[in-house]
């Protein structure tokens, strides 16, 4: 029985930075972003462990919570995209992976996500 597609009934918004430029002084100007709704997904908190702490190169820790996104095969996700669902804003953590089904054809795409807290 294939229960994953039946559980994939949520929608998320993919946020993609599509460009940036420089002003007359060589400073990076604001980026352009596009938002695309992706339907037929399942967004789940990763319950494999407690929230972790990471030190991003300075003297403070930030709590990191992890999530998993299951999406239809062929979903266009890139490592620098962001995923938003309501007030939840997540970063893609690593390369999204397409998983094969029992007959070898693409079954679903899975992406690991993370959220930094203060």
Q: Which residue has the tokens 């999530």?
A: 67
> Whole-prediction pTM value?
0.76
Q: For residue 18, what are its two tokens?
A: 């599509």
CA distances to 62, 70, 115 from 56, in Å: 8, 27, 13
- Residues with Cβ within 8 Å of 61's Cβ and at least 6 positions away in sequence, in order, are 53, 54, 55
Interval 21-76: pLDDT, tens: 677 777 766 678 899 999 999 999 987 655 455 555 555 567 888 999 999 999 99
Element (DSSP H or E) covering residue 4 = helix 4-7
The full set of domains in the chain, from first to last, is 4-21+28-116 (2.40.10.270)
**Is-contact 112 92, C-beta < 8 A?**
yes
């Amino acid at each position: 029985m294939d229960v994953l597609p039946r559980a994939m009934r949520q929608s998320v918004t993919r946020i993609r930075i599509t460009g940036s430029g420089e002003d007359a002084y060589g400073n990076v100007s604001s980026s352009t972003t596009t938002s695309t709704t992706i339907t037929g997904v399942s967004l789940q908190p990763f319950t494999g462990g407690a929230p972790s702490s990471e030190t991003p190169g300075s003297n403070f820790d930030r709590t990191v919570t992890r999530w998993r996104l299951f999406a239809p095969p062929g979903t266009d996700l890139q490592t620098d995209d962001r995923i938003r669902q309501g007030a939840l804003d997540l970063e893609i953590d690593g390369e999204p992976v397409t998983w094969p089904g029992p007959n070898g054809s693409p079954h679903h795409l899975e992406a690991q996500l993370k959220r930094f807290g203060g």
